[in-house]
Amino acid sequence: MRESFENLSSTIVNLKNLGANDVYFWYLANNPPFPFPSSGLPPTAPALPPNAPATPDPDLKINLIWPCTDSHVKKYSRQVARSVTETAQIYRERVRPYMERERAGGRLTWVYNIIDGKTEAEDVIYRTPLSQQQVNEEGFLLLPDLNWDRKTIESLHLLGIVERRDIWSLRDLKKRHVPWLREMRRRFVEATVEMFGERGVEADSLKLYVHYQPTYYHFHVHVVHVALEAGATQATGKAVGLESIISMLEVMGGDEEAGMDSEGVDLVYTIGEESELWKEIFEPAKKERLSIDNGN
Amino acid sequence: MRESFENLSSTIVNLKNLGANDVYFWYLANNPPFPFPSSGLPPTAPALPPNAPATPDPDLKINLIWPCTDSHVKKYSRQVARSVTETAQIYRERVRPYMERERAGGRLTWVYNIIDGKTEAEDVIYRTPLSQQQVNEEGFLLLPDLNWDRKTIESLHLLGIVERRDIWSLRDLKKRHVPWLREMRRRFVEATVEMFGERGVEADSLKLYVHYQPTYYHFHVHVVHVALEAGATQATGKAVGLESIISMLEVMGGDEEAGMDSEGVDLVYTIGEESELWKEIFEPAKKERLSIDNGN
């Protein structure tokens, strides 16, 4: 499959690899300048007009997932959406075991590659000092999200990843994590402004959020430009502001162990009917509810 | 200005008024079928092709605000966005007085018209039974949002409005409101499913959220179809899930009077540089901060 992708270079020109990590590859490229005869594209890129720059600005950003799994295909397929309510009990009894299964089987390899410095090390924008311990409990790092072209400042999209492996999602955050979360937030913002300040990025040009449900179960924070077009990825029912999590933990009753998995924390989110969460957990629960409502 | 809008009917055909309330008017219409000579449009709609239905499906939804204020123009103008943090203190000392000024001067007339049954009464989808009291503390009603074409089910957008006038925004919600909020949520969902169930809407096809900052300071809830394209209006930094507010109040420490204006509840949101909130409150605060940082 990679071969047939490389063959695309006869119809996509100036293919430039931006990076690769595990099954993920990303590129910049150009569409060949049109017009072409409709009966087939030339095998190589035509000569550029005399005044064109040697390498024109890329007009394509390509993400390749190879080899991809059924989950990848489902994630990007058009499907009916459902809004579900995950109570603390459903989380504990059904969703957490699902997360555990998802974490197994090498699906986090690409994240561990980054943390271990095996891939994308040259892309890292900020990293907490490495500690002597094997896993730095408080460590985190910041690097470009694979969806960013690394160029258009108004669509800046970075990814903050924690080093510890025991926080799978926002559900694992507790009151005792508040000072650490605040510090992490501060560093992410500071590092981004330091790197991109010349291009006009200020602290208040940034939005920080996490996904629930996330695509992978290793805690990570999205850092984006406020001007980035807000689509499904920033929508309520998917994105939760980092600061609103911090505020919620801050005002929550209970001791330091109280947190986002405590009784009373219902999380409402949108999932597709093709997702395993829907098929394995929420659809069966709905059917059972309907059956009870109908007196069966 | 209304006159020149009516004149548009020479280039927009089948103009159909959907409703009007105070300064807001909304319509469905059609673009004249193309092709037209590029040198001007015909003064009246051309004859439809023989098989076309007498009234084709509208392809335009038009909102008219007339007469509009500077605030309206600014709201819809392209502008630089800023992410700001509203602490409980900033809310109390600066934002609440701003809200109070905004509420004055007849800007809520259209909301009161709805609550008093003076306008849009025939559009109301659900309303709690009217009480003997002049203002029903627990009352609320549900009707189509003016941005919905009232037709395309996947872009269903309703507006839930509370009758009481003392809840200006989510900042006024307290722990003691939780049972009322839950009941309101349940009724909104039930009424929507009752009305649109035949067209495939189920309880889990709906998303409920509120805006902060909202456009007007009388508490209201957006009820939308999960398939509605999620743009800026649903984005983190603007939309807050109704259930996440309920959860936050539920787990919050303190007595029944603790709420979304309590110490520790920081709200982070995105505003435009043209907004009064930016110009009057957050920009001066930023300048002061920068000046202190620079040792002046």
Quick one: pLDDT band at residue B24, thresholds 50, 70, 90?
confident
Q: Does A234 touch chain B (CB under 8 A)?
A: yes
Angle at B214 between CA B230 and CA B21, to 5 degrees: 95
- Per DSSP, the residues of B22-47 read TTEEEEEEEPPPSP--TT---SSPPP
Query: Are A146 and A19 contacting, i.e. CB atoms less than 8 angstroms apart?
Result: yes
Interface ipTM > 0.90: no
Chain B interface mutation, best of A83, A242, A282, A289, highest count of B Cβ atoms under 10 Å: A83
Residue B292 has pLDDT above 90, yes or no: no
Kindly report, residue by residue over B62-107, the tens digit of the pLDDT: 888 988 888 788 878 888 999 999 999 999 999 999 999 999 878 8
Please tell me which residue, B39 or A296, carries the higher pLDDT value. Answer: A296
Query: Are A19 and A35 contacting, i.e. CB atoms less than 8 angstroms apart?
Result: no
Active-site positions of B read 220
Residue A264 and residue B286: Cβ atoms within 8 Å? Answer: no
Closest to A90 measured CA to CA, from A241, A294, A284: A284
Over range B15-40, report the average pLDDT: 72
Size of interface A-B (CB pairs under 8 A): 129
Radius of gyration of chain A (CA): 22
Residue B40 has pLDDT above 50, yes or no: no
Angle at A222 between CA A27 and CA A170, to 5 degrees: 135
- Residues in chain B within 8 Å Cβ distance of A83: 204-207, 226
The reported pLDDT for the residue numbered A203 is 97
- Per DSSP, the residues of B162-190 read ES-SS--SGGG-BGGGHHHHHHHHHHHHH
Please tell me which residue, B34 or B291, carries the higher pLDDT value. Answer: B291
Judge residue A276's burial from the number of C-beta atoms within 10 Å of its C-beta, 0-12 exposed, 13-18 middle, 19 or more buried.
middle
Residue A111 has pLDDT above 80, yes or no: yes
Distance in angstroms (rounded) separating the CA atoms of residues B188 and B178? 15
The reported pLDDT for the residue numbered A73 is 85
Tokens of A88: 């603390």
Q: Does A54 touch chain B (CB under 8 A)?
A: no
| Average pLDDT, rounded, for chain B | 87
The reported pLDDT for the residue numbered B290 is 87
The owner of tokens 């335009």 is: B60
Kindly report, residue by residue over A27-77, the tens digit of the pLDDT: 888 877 644 444 444 445 455 555 655 667 888 888 889 888 887 888 788
The reported pLDDT for the residue numbered B53 is 59
Query: Are A240 and A210 contacting, i.e. CB atoms less than 8 angstroms apart?
Result: yes
In chain A, the percentage of residues whose pLDDT exceeds 90 is 61
Residue B37 has pLDDT above 90, yes or no: no
Minimal CA separation from A204 to chain B, in Å = 5
Over range A4-21, report the average pLDDT: 70
The owner of tokens 């509810």 is: A289
Kindly report, residue by residue over B178-189, the tens digit of the pLDDT: 999 999 999 999
Minimal CA separation from B86 to chain A, in Å = 11
Chain A, residues 257-286, CB within 8 A of chain B, namely 258, 262, 264-268, 270, 286
Q: How far apart are the first and last CA of chain A?
A: 50
Residue B3 has pLDDT above 50, yes or no: no
Kindly report, residue by residue over B241-275, the tens digit of the pLDDT: 999 999 999 999 999 999 999 999 999 999 999 99
Q: Does A69 touch chain B (CB under 8 A)?
A: no
Q: What is the DSSP letter of A259?
A: B
- The H-assigned helical ranges of A231-274 are 242-251
Quick one: pLDDT band at residue B296, thresholds 50, 70, 90?
low
Minimal CA separation from A280 to chain B, in Å = 16
The owner of tokens 């009481």 is: B164
The reported pLDDT for the residue numbered B168 is 98
The partner residue sitting opposite A207, judged by closest CB among B83, B205, B248, is: B83
The reported pLDDT for the residue numbered A215 is 92
Residue B85 and residue A209: Cβ atoms within 8 Å? Answer: no
Indicate the residue type of A69.
T
Residue A213 has pLDDT above 50, yes or no: yes
In Å, how far are B102, B212, B266 from B94, measured between CA atoms?
Answer: 13, 15, 14
Residue B30 has pLDDT above 90, yes or no: no
Ramachandran quadrant class, B276 (left: phi over 0; alpha: psi -120 to 50; beta: rest): alpha
Closest to A171 measured CA to CA, from A222, A111, A223, A212: A212
